[in-house]
Amino acid sequence: MAGTNSLNEAVIVEALRTPIGRAHKGGLADVRPDDLGAFIARSLLERVGNDIGAQVDELICGCGFPWGEQGYNVGRTIALLAGMPISTPGYTITRLCASSLQAIRAAHHAISLGEGGAYLVVGVESCTRAGRDRHLAENNPLLDPGAPGPTFADIYLSMLETAENVATLYGVSRKDMDSFALQSQKRALAGQTSGFFAREMVDFVAPDGSVMSQDDGPRSSTTMEILQNLPAVLPDKGGRVTAGNSCSLNDGAVAVLIMEAKHAASMGIRARARVVASGVAAVDPAIMGVGPIDAVKVALGRAGLGIDDMDVVEINEAFASQVVAVSRAIGMDPSEDRLNPNGGAIALGHPFGMSGARLVTTALNALESQDGQFALVTLCVGGGQGQAMVLERI
């Protein structure tokens, strides 16, 4: 096996997600994020069986903006709402868009060190009910060029502007971006039609009895002509970023169960994959979208593997400009079949705290669907970071 084996091997035994809803008008807009996280946690534990909830050492929740209804240490509240033993600890991690990928990384580290045998990771975000317009945070003037006096970096810069900056610096055209966005829509629609996404998803039943069984986002009406006629969001900053080649704001939740390999085997629970290596990196916040470039180099280097060894590559589609730039920089063509083979966030949506573990869930599904071995998952992170993880199917 690639990578360096630790004394205790952490394996992913199950991964499951809700459908992704559009913020404010989608199928999950009326659902509290803590209730949504509890729903997916319960659903995964029931699927695994073996009274596994009583075996979980800790619940780790990734949440991009942990305030409002997804505040007050939502990791602990989800554990309680899910009906797990009151003795089950829980905590919350934020690395913005990579929060739940970091939660998986934390579980992997804990198991490798022998601190526990089973960790439940939950990723959750409701942009509807706890969006950035509802937060209590205040900008630090030393990181805000709009404030008087000197600054270190513009960490609060609009993500839309960072996408334009990446397009300029890396030579990504409007046509490149729209072409990639159309590809994402087509692949996501194919994934829905083929039943691919149904394999990683559980229907969400609302209190009124209505059932949400697929992602809100994919648009069958999308064409290149429509995309190219959309107005630019920032016409004075380059005029390439549009609503069509960017991700939307969304709601959703995902759960991943990670266990020590021998512990899982002793319970008769089949391992699906192992974490080979992970990496993080930081860049100028003004070009945060290219954070994955160095993070991928770190993760692949630690794994002792190259990009050509990857059967599936999932790059979170915050903006088409950054996916095109990152894929080219790591040695891939944006149109390759193994890059986001079932579409990505431009079509499916990007609930910040959910997305990292959602990419892992989708990558495992893709590996199993095509009998692949290795997958790479990576995301850019607001504030100028990138995170990546290499997985090996078992």
Known catalytic residues? Answer: 97, 350, 380
Q: Where are the alpha helices (DSSP H) in the chain?
A: 33-48, 74-81, 99-112, 159-170, 174-194, 224-229, 261-266, 291-303, 320-329, 345-348, 352-370
User: In whole angstroms, what is the distance from residue 258 CA to residue 235 CA?
Assistant: 45
Cα torsion 271, 256, 338, 322 to 10°: value is: -150
Q: Please, which residues bridge with residue 341 across strands?
A: 343
Residue 10 phi, psi (nearest 5): -95, 130
User: In whole angstroms, what is the distance from residue 235 CA to residue 211 CA?
Assistant: 40
Q: Is residue 257 a contact partner of residue 211, using CB atoms and an 8 Å limit?
A: no
Q: Please, which residues bridge with residue 123 across strands?
A: 62, 254
| DSSP 3-state of 95 | coil
The one-letter amino acid at 171: G
Q: Please, which residues bridge with residue 14 across strands?
A: 257
User: In whole angstroms, what is the distance from residue 321 CA to residue 376 CA?
Assistant: 19
Q: Is residue 141 a contact partner of residue 147, using CB atoms and an 8 Å limit?
A: yes
In the chain, the N- to C-terminal Cα span, in Å, equals 10
Residues 6+ apart with CB under 8 A from 183: 334, 335, 343
